[in-house]
């Protein structure tokens, strides 16, 4: 779809974080403020849905054409005192009450109620979908063993599902021709096993299994919701888990001990020592949580988003980017592994319309073993507040080297990252790489974070060659400024020598040439003076050159030489 325009919305920084900018540091600890970005995304034309649910949630109404068309029948449906037409497709694979389904492979006896029949259909679909996820079409015996193990101690319905699985497998054994259909969709197999109820209650299976790519824990009774990706793999979502549960402990405890326990966003449930809530990241497009591939047991990071077009574009662009990156630098990028899209448990509220289930994407990545560089910088600044200057210098110097190396990798492959910042660096790798663009293509200023964005990016119709060439360097300077001082150049309380003017939320210019070597003697955090060490002064000068208003100055910088000089200026290097 061709985009006809763009719209932007600014995510405001939480007021509690803004309060941390006070000049007085609380209890000897200096606080850093994590900045949110500006979302610039294509306008999405509103579309009207042809289907909706009644307020009671019982009858699905579908607006039929004025005349029944070939392949459909129309029946009158009573709903809240009104009659409307319901069009149903009668295709070969659409098992509705209008088409008599063969009961040759039926497993389930006719139940007493429609609700019971639907519950059984949902259970069977869950089991068959997961069985296929374990490659049952290749090796049914091995897949059934894996699924039995997966269901063990899994949620409140695990034992019940295990019994039903045993019955299904017995049906496959007694009817070998049924097992041969395991390469068919799980909905097809579910329909065959529940033919009597489908025929008796005239059940439309597509209306019963509304979200085939999502197995919601509230419906399945399993411990966690599962999502299907584009490769046919099921991912178990672990936003919350309980290590006293055998299933959770077996699946996630190792990752919890090595990564999540020390993660700054991990929360423990009040009154518990084993229940945890984990968010690995909370960005402008959605949250990132732990997910587990049920077939391999691999723990990954899963980024959830309700902005589907952006998620699709990022996934596509990331795949394209992987081909542009040189072999030398591939290890510096966290390329997404899979993408899944399904309807979420939340509803979209649109004015004047019935609430509809909201679509949601899940993009998976290799799990980061450390916090992002912003949190690392926050811990480093705390060392400075405690007057541990030598340790502080050595720690932030490691960050200087990491961030410079990542920018050098971008420059070597002629790439530009519109939103380069410490929050987008994990495990010494670029993340959110779907935004990275080739300098050979037309630059698109998407996903910008004001305090890291070069002046003119939003206001100019087109950046010139010099500006594009040094774009990453401006963002690098802003990142290093925050890492070494906990300030942004736009902060009200930043020393005058480091402040830059802001217009409409973005910098209006860089640092003047004559002031590039002028840096403050102190940072003004507290009443008690704390020195700006030689290594810090040199880093701040490096920052100002990278963020110079004259971009030709930034272009001429020898990054390696500056890093070498900063390293030699550290206290630990003095004799």
Give the C-alpha separation, 279 to 262, whole Å: 12
Give SS3 for 342.
strand
357 exposed, middle or buried (CB, 10 Å; 0-12, 13-18, 19+)?
middle
Both tokens of 19, joined, read: 């309060």
411 exposed, middle or buried (CB, 10 Å; 0-12, 13-18, 19+)?
middle
Give the C-alpha separation, 142 to 492, whole Å: 63
Bridge pairing between strands 72-79 and 437-438: unpaired
Instruction: Supply the pLDDT for residue 356.
Output: 66
Instruction: Supply the pLDDT for residue 457.
Output: 92
Both tokens of 147, joined, read: 């699924």
Query: Can you say how many angstroms the Cα of residue 67 is from the centroid of all Cα atoms in its chain?
Result: 45
**What Cα–Cα distance (Å) separates residue 11 from each residue in 41, 109, 162, 431, 480?**
14, 55, 46, 20, 23
Give the C-alpha separation, 144 to 360, whole Å: 30
Query: What is the chain's pLDDT, residue by residue, as a tens digit (575 residues)?
Result: 433 333 333 333 334 434 443 444 444 556 778 777 765 444 334 433 333 333 333 333 332 333 333 233 333 333 333 333 233 332 334 444 445 677 877 777 787 899 999 999 999 999 999 999 999 999 999 999 999 999 999 999 999 999 999 999 999 999 999 889 999 999 999 999 999 999 999 999 998 998 999 999 999 999 999 999 999 999 999 999 999 999 999 999 999 999 999 988 899 999 999 999 999 988 777 899 999 999 999 999 999 998 999 899 999 999 899 889 999 999 999 999 999 998 765 555 455 565 667 889 999 999 998 888 998 999 999 999 899 999 999 999 999 999 999 999 999 999 999 999 999 999 999 998 999 999 999 898 888 999 999 999 988 878 899 999 999 999 999 999 999 999 999 999 999 999 999 999 999 999 999 999 999 988 876 556 678 999 999 999 999 999 999 999 999 999 999 999 999 999 999 86
Give the C-alpha separation, 512 to 498, whole Å: 11
Give the C-alpha separation, 516 to 315, whole Å: 40
Phi, psi of 180 (to 5 degrees): -70, -15
| Count of residues in the chain | 575
Instruction: Supply the pLDDT for residue 102.
Output: 75
Q: For the chain, where do the domains classified as CATH 1.10.510.10 start and end?
A: 370-573
Phi, psi of 106 (to 5 degrees): -60, 140
Q: For the chain, where do the domains classified as CATH 3.30.200 start and end?
A: 250-366
CATH of the domain spanning 370-573 = 1.10.510.10
Give the C-alpha separation, 434 to 430, whole Å: 10
Whether the predicted model's global pTM rises above the 0.75 cut = yes
Nearest to 151 by CA among 214, 223, 211, 218: 223
Instruction: Supply the pLDDT for residue 522.
Output: 86
Nearest to 432 by CA among 314, 331, 522: 314
Query: How many degrees, rounded to 5, is the angle at CA 54 between CA 50 and CA 60?
Result: 55
List the end-to-end C-alpha distance of the chain, in Å, as a whole number. 64
Question: 54-87 burial, b if ≥16 CB within 10 A, otherwise e?
Answer: eeeeeebbbebeeeeeeebebeeeeeeeeeeebb
**What Cα–Cα distance (Å) separates residue 236 from each residue in 196, 239, 421?**
32, 10, 30
Query: Which distant-in-sequence residues (6+ apart) come within 8 Å of 531 by Cβ?
Result: 389, 521, 522
| 558-567, long-range: CB < 8 A, 24+ apart | 559/404, 559/407, 559/408, 560/404, 562/538, 563/400, 563/401, 563/404, 565/538, 566/397, 566/400, 566/535, 566/538, 566/539, 566/542, 567/397, 567/401, 567/535
Task: Give me the architecture of the 250-366 domain, per CATH.
Answer: 2-Layer Sandwich (3.30)
């Amino acid at each position: 779809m061709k985009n006809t325009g763009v719209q932007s919305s600014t995510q405001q920084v939480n007021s509690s974080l803004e309060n941390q900018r006070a000049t007085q540091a609380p209890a000897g600890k200096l606080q850093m403020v994590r900045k949110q970005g500006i979302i610039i995304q294509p306008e999405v034309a509103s579309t009207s849905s042809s289907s909706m649910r009644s307020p009671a949630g019982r009858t699905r109404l579908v607006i039929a054409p004025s005349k029944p068309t070939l392949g459909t029948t129309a029946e009158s449906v009573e709903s809240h005192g009104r009659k409307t037409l319901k069009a149903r497709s009668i295709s070969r694979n659409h098992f509705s009450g209008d088409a008599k389904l063969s009961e040759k492979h039926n497993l389930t006896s006719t139940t007493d109620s429609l609700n019971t029949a639907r519950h059984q259909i949902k259970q069977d679909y869950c089991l068959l979908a997961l069985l296929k996820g374990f490659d049952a079409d290749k090796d049914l015996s091995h897949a059934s063993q894996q699924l039995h193990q997966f269901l063990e101690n899994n949620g409140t319905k695990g034992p019940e599902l295990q019994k039903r699985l045993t019955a299904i497998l017995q049906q496959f054994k007694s009817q070998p021709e049924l097992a041969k259909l395991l390469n068919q969709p799980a909905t097809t197999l579910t329909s065959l096993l529940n033919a009597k109820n489908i025929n008796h209650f005239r059940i439309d299976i597509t209306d019963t299994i509304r979200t085939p790519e999502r197995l919601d824990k509230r419906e399945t009774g399993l411990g966690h919701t599962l999502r299907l990706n584009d490769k046919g793999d099921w991912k178990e979502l672990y936003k919350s888990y309980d290590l006293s549960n055998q299933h959770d402990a077996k699946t996630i405890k190792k990752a919890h001990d090595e990564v999540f326990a020390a993660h700054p966003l991990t929360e423990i449930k009040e009154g518990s020592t084993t229940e945890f809530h984990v968010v690995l990241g909370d960005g402008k497009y959605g949250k990132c949580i732990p997910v587990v591939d049920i077939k391999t047991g691999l723990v990954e990071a899963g980024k959830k988003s309700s902005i589907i077009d952006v998620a699709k574009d990022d996934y596509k662009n990331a795949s394209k980017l992987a081909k542009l990156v040189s072999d030398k630098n591939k290890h510096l990028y966290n390329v997404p592994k899979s993408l899944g899209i399904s309807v979420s448990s939340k509803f979209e509220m649109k004015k004047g319309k019935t609430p509809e289930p909201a679509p949601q994407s899940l993009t998976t990545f290799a799990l980061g073993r450390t916090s992002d560089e912003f949190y690392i910088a926050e811990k480093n600044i705390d060392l400075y507040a405690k007057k541990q200057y030598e340790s502080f210098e050595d720690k932030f110097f490691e960050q200087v080297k990491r961030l410079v190396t990542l920018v050098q990798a971008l420059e070597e492959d002629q790439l530009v990252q519109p939103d380069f910042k410490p929050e987008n660096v994990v495990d010494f790798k670029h993340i959110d790489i779907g935004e990275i663009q080739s300098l050979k293509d037309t630059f698109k200023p998407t996903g910008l974070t004001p305090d890291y964005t070069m002046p003119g990016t939003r206001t100019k119709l087109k950046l010139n060659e010099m500006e594009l060439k040094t774009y990453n360097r401006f963002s690098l300077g802003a990142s290093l400024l925050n890492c070494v001082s906990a300030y942004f150049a736009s902060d009200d309380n930043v020393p005058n020598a480091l402040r830059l003017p802001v217009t409409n939320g973005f910098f209006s210019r860089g640092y003047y040439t004559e002031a590039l070597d002028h840096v403050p003697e102190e940072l003004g955090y507290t009443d008690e003076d704390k020195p700006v060490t030689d290594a810090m002064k040199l880093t701040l000068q490096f920052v100002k050159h990278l963020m110079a208003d004259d971009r030709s100055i930034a272009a001429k910088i020898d990054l390696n030489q500056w890093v070498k000089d900063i390293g030699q200026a550290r206290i630990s290097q003095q004799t």
